[in-house]
Amino acid sequence: MKEKIFIYQVLPRLFGNEKSLNKENGSLEENGVGKFSAFDNKALKEIKKMGYTHIWYTGILEHASKTDYSDFGILKDHPDVIKGNAGSPYAIRDYYDVTPDLADSVGDRMSEFEALVERTHKNGMKVIMDFVPNHVARQYRSDAKPEDVKDFGADDDTSSAFSPDNNFYYIPGQKLELQFPVQQGEGAYDEYPAKATGNDCFSNKPSVSDWYETVKLNYGVDYNNGRRNHFALIPDTWSKMKDILLYWTAKGVDGFRCDMAEMVPVEFWNWVIPKVKAKNKSLLFIAEVYNPEQYNNYVHWGLFDYLYDKVDLYDTLRDVICGHKPTSEITFCWQRIDGLQQKMLNFLENHDEQRIASDFFAGDPFKAIPGMIVTATMNTNPVMIYFGQELGERGMDKEGFSGCDGRTTIFDYWSVDSVSKWRNGGSFGNSELNDSQIKLRKFYTQLLQIAGTDESINSGKFYDLMYANYENPLFDSTKQYTFLRSSKKEFVLVIANFDEVDKEVVVDIPEDAFDFMDIIPYKIKVAKELFANKDFKLPANWYQSLKVSVNAHSGKIIRFSMS
């Protein structure tokens, strides 16, 4: 039976933070910070128990921060080019090091990370970490690189706006002029010549809405002259990035979530992924790609294992959950990427998106239950859940740089209330959770375990029933979504009800569905509701139309089998 991948995305900086002061714009000393050690065997067993196969530890690479670690040989960053006090995990300061915030002993931070990888493996899960290939912190410098490695930009010709041998892009003869209030005089940040900013801003005057804390890396693409590629000789940035990936692979990392992968030429991925997988063929490469027109390119030529399914399934489900689109739109999601469904990573939350329970999304985590059922069971592909999602974390704190935006901050030192209560000082359990949190967490645990162990879901065929029920007066194709998943001798019927009221629906199942699944319906003897863990009575002629009661904002998964 194929393993279905379930990824638990978590920011260690926030996960293990035991302080609850949560002062707006607070420092590390005031607000505290989580550590690698918070993921002890007890914590990892609790995560594994839910059904996760992988943990994406977000924010591991050393990134720019306002916390001073100069006593440990780490040069201070200028505050004008840092977002928040903790800094963005995507403004990398040293690709060969881990962030010192996460270590109990700063001098032993790498060995502490290596121990975390080992603990995660011993508890039956694999480790995913960020690979941030498109940009670095404005003051990138590596104090942990191997002796034979040169820093990015060390040999650049800074008089050239573009050179295939440069690691950065420059605006020759002009200094960086940040377009917002900054320090002046002796304390001013000085960058001359200015470098291009990470979001393809080829100006010396990035605004506050640009990724002003980052510098764009040069992969041999001349953006100012028709985006011409210079790949005849392998660009220096390619080789440097290959060595970085191999460095972390050697430390036991099992996969890389590649930040803004589509901003890096697909030719690089085609070149580098086979070289890294030669060291570990089971490595996962997950691409953050938002342009559906590039999906085939980054899968078939770029050789990624999985891509974010953000602009299709996530965006559609969000609109359905919020009542802006009918459920029939979900069908168009898989049709638009037909043939690539198994290559998509499904989710309803991550660090970039607003929390389901926030005022900016659904305002109630239970409204997303039908969407989460679809997300987890629609195909064999991986599913990701963001820490706190299973507890209904609202993300409505005003932490500092991020403000009150419905997201959990990635820029500030903070403690996540719902997660802290579940952690309960490291003892875990439900004693500090309210009834709603306990109920929601039970649902997520059940869902992951059902989707992870049911053969029809984790490795079977998919058959959309919406077309067969479009004109069915006893099925609302604007509020319900239904489909089949099948294995060799059994199948499951999934019904998701996005309506605000309980519904008794009748689902028509065409003969074509059984032909497609290669199942003879009269041989089916029993059926079982998997969430309720109880038998489902099969009436006569059930295989033509089936009556099912489904609660508001809920769903049912019914397994049909021969015995």
For residues 461 and 476, the answer to whether their CB atoms sit within 8 Å is no
pLDDT the model gives residue 500:
98
Report d(CA 205, CA 2) in Å as an integer.
51
Cβ-proximal residues to 409 (8 Å cutoff; 6+ apart), any chain:
14, 84, 397, 399, 400, 401, 402
Residue with tokens 């290939």, as numbered in its chain: 133
Report d(CA 261, CA 268) in Å as an integer.
10
Alpha helix segments (H runs only) across 259-305: 266-277, 295-296
> DSSP characters for 496-561?
EE-SSS-EEEEEE--HHHHHHHT--GGG--EEEETTTTEE----TTTTTEEEEEE-TTEEEEEEEE
Report d(CA 28, CA 351) in Å as an integer.
20
Its pTM stands at 0.98
Burial class (CB in 10 A: 0-12, 13-18, 19+), 163: buried
Closest CA to 491 of 467, 516, 469, 466: 516
Give CA separation, 375 vs 44, 91, 307, 321, 493, in Å: 24, 31, 15, 12, 15
pLDDT the model gives residue 14:
98
Ordered per-residue pLDDT tens for the chain, 563 residues: 688 999 999 999 999 999 999 999 999 999 999 999 999 999 999 999 999 999 999 999 999 999 999 999 999 999 999 999 999 999 999 999 999 999 999 999 999 999 999 999 999 999 999 999 999 999 999 999 999 999 999 999 999 999 999 999 999 999 999 999 999 998 999 999 999 999 999 999 999 999 999 999 999 999 999 999 999 999 999 999 999 999 999 999 999 999 999 999 999 999 999 999 999 999 999 999 999 999 999 999 999 999 999 999 999 999 999 999 999 999 999 999 988 999 999 999 999 999 999 999 999 999 999 999 999 999 999 999 999 999 999 999 999 998 999 999 999 999 999 999 999 999 999 999 999 999 999 999 999 999 999 999 999 999 999 999 999 999 999 999 999 999 998 999 999 999 999 999 999 999 999 999 999 998 998 999 999 999 999 998 899 899 999 999 999 999 999 88
What are the tokens at 320? 């359905």
Phi/psi of residue 481, nearest 5 degrees: -135, 135
For residues 238 and 271, the answer to whether their CB atoms sit within 8 Å is yes
For domain 460-561, the CATH superfamily is: Golgi alpha-mannosidase II (2.60.40.1180)
- Coil, strand, or helix at residue 307? strand
Reported as half-sphere exposure (CB side, CA atoms, 13 A), residue 529 has a value of: 13
Phi/psi of residue 228, nearest 5 degrees: -70, 140
Report d(CA 83, CA 64) in Å as an integer.
9
> DSSP characters for 102-140?
G-SSGGGHHHHHHHHHHHHHHTT-EEEEEE--SEEETT-
Report d(CA 220, CA 243) in Å as an integer.
17
What are the tokens at 70? 């100069």
Report d(CA 85, CA 24) in Å as an integer.
10
Cβ-proximal residues to 121 (8 Å cutoff; 6+ apart), any chain:
127, 252
Cβ-proximal residues to 247 (8 Å cutoff; 6+ apart), any chain:
95, 96, 146
Spell out the domain ranges in the chain. 6-136+234-316+342-452, 460-561
Fold agreement (6-136+234-316+342-452, 460-561):
no
pLDDT the model gives residue 563:
81
pLDDT the model gives residue 353:
98
For domain 6-136+234-316+342-452, the CATH superfamily is: Glycosidases (3.20.20.80)
pLDDT the model gives residue 338:
82
Report d(CA 94, CA 91) in Å as an integer.
9
pLDDT the model gives residue 1:
66
For residues 126 and 54, the answer to whether their CB atoms sit within 8 Å is yes
Residue with tokens 């040999």, as numbered in its chain: 155
- Coil, strand, or helix at residue 385? strand
